[in-house]
Amino acid sequence: MPRHFLVDTDLTPEEQASVLDLAAALKADRFSRRPLAGPQTVGVLFDKTSTRTRVSFATGVSDLGGTPLIINPGESQLGHKETVADSARVFSRMLAAVVWRTYAQSGLVEMARYSDVPVVNALSDDYHPCQILADLLTLREHVGEVSGRTLVYLGDAANNMANSYLLGCATAGMHVRIAGPEGYLPRADVVAAARERAGSTGGSVLVTTDAREALAGADAVVTDTWVSMGQESEKAERTEIFRPYAVTSEAMALAADDAVFLHCLPAHRGLEVAAEVIDGPASLVWDEAENRLHVQKALLTFLLDSSGLSADLPAA
């Protein structure tokens, strides 16, 4: 059975830690693993636009000895002229893995159900798990051991990034605080899953509408756009609703003295984050963006290894 990565909790805490270890090793020695030697092809499919995900997967697949096949929005039959199941069956005959950015999480679940090769969530409406791996690697590099540290997310607390911070950081044993306005808080099932995971890792979960409460003493402050892809028609009302949750210098001052700032990007200066924060000394956003490359290479290597599909399984 192939291993998939559709949601942050698809990796156990131990697996997540070993993927991050491998990411650090691949960052230090970029071409040291060749699980896609052949070269084998990895499909990287986009139903939504992308810069980082597109570039990091294309580069990462090449680094691993493979060939990326980028399929941009509207370029395939997937999902509109052909069922996800039928596309998955065809992909399985030719590709080593499928990386897919799409809207509904249910599409990814369907793809994985019919796929004989690993399926990776490259962002859905519900989760963005590859991004959290990059954030965790960045925190490891700059803050040290992440377990026991506190991460606070401010803004649209019902979006894919908020959900993945809850699940991915709880998996890492972090204390996760999510703050957003009433009506834009995470779903109860996501919070319950994060609490369950935190219960086994020593982490914890706080969901609140009070940004000041969430920020108090935090080690890392993170945010995301207030208008996710697909929500463009709500831009005006969202900009008003989320304004009290902007990451400004005043907000950063409530966190720990040495708190760092993360943002998955693309960012909007003057909206969810002040320019002096994202362009200031606490900001790690460029390392965070680069780390997409390293963590995704490690993830693909792990998934191919564990699915018995790697071209260069290390000697036992």
For residue 105, indicate whether it is catalytic.
no
Rounded CA-CA distance 222/151 in Å is 7
- Annotated ligand binding at 228? The verdict is yes
For residue 131, indicate whether it is catalytic.
yes
Segment contacting ligand NVA by CB under 6 A, of 156-164, 182-190, 238-246, 304-312: 156-164
Query: Shortest gap between Cβ of 224 and ligand NVA (angstroms)?
Result: 5
Among 16, 40, 50, 291, binds ligand CP (CB under 6 A): 50
Rounded CA-CA distance 96/98 in Å is 7
Residues 6 or more apart from 118 whose CB is under 8 A from it?
Answer: 2, 3, 4, 5, 97, 98, 300, 303, 304, 307, 309
Catalytic annotation, pick one of 177, 264, 294, 296: 264
Among 52, 175, 238, 294, binds ligand CP (CB under 6 A): 52
Is there a contact between 11 and 19 (Cβ–Cβ < 8 Å)? yes
Residues numbered 207-236 forming contacts with ligand NVA, rule: CB under 6 A: 224-225, 228-229
The entry of ligand CP, ligand NVA, none near residue 51 (CB within 5 to 8 angstroms by kind) is ligand CP
Residue type, 205: V
Closest CA to 266 of 51, 45, 103, 48: 51
Residue type, 94: M
- Annotated ligand binding at 163? The verdict is no
Segment contacting ligand CP by CB under 6 A, of 48-56, 75-83, 145-153, 249-257: 48-56
Residues belonging to the binding site for L-ornithine are 160, 224, 228-229
Using CB under 6 A, list all residues that contact ligand CP: 50-53, 123, 131, 264-265
Active site positions, annotated = 101, 128, 131, 224, 264, 292
Using CB under 6 A, list all residues that contact ligand NVA: 123, 128, 159-161, 224-225, 228-229, 264
